[in-house]
Structure 1
Amino acid sequence: LAASMLSLPHLSRLSLRPPELKLVAPSSSLGHKSSQ
């Protein structure tokens, strides 16, 4: 859960960057477990 909380503010900074990074950030968190 902590990772999710840190992800929220992190996305705020990424929002300034390309949308690709925005998708990679959340995907890395949620999709990480799904991937494995």
Structure 2
Amino acid sequence: MYIHIYILKFECIYFYSLYLIFNNIILVLKLYNKV
């Protein structure tokens, strides 16, 4: 049971990091479009 919770936490961190990277890419693209 504890191992399952640990895996869920790891997945949450993984998806959250992907989400942050995706947002950073969008911000960079917006900045390039303004230039």
Same fold (TM over 0.5): no
Provide the TM-score with structure 2 as the length reference. Answer: 0.34
Higher relative contact order (CA 8 A, sep 6+): 1
Name which one, 1 or 2, has greater alpha-carbon Rg: 2
